């Protein structure tokens, strides 16, 4: 599980979504906000 607590979380989300498409859905990707922080939660299914 990788979490990005940065303002760039949406860019990271777009990047990993693209990677997930290339890798045929081996990642579980969520993005959410806690307080003022945006978090990208990435789990590999491998």
- Residue 20: burial class (beta carbons within 10 Å; 0-12, 13-18, 19+): middle
Whole-model pTM: value is 0.50
State the virtual CA torsion across 20, 21, 23, 24 in degrees, nearest 10.
Answer: 110
According to the model, what pLDDT value does residue 16 have?
80
The per-residue pLDDT string of the chain (46 residues; one tens digit each, 9 = 90 and over) reads: 555 556 666 777 788 888 888 888 787 888 788 787 777 787 876 6
According to the model, what pLDDT value does residue 21 have?
84
What is the total count of domains within the chain?
A: 1
Domain that holds residue 30: 2-44
């Amino acid at each position: 599980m990788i979490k990005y607590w940065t303002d760039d979380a949406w860019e990271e989300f777009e990047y990993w979504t693209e990677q997930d498409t290339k890798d045929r859905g081996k990642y579980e990707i969520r993005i959410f906000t806690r307080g003022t922080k945006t978090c990208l939660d990435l789990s590999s299914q491998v």
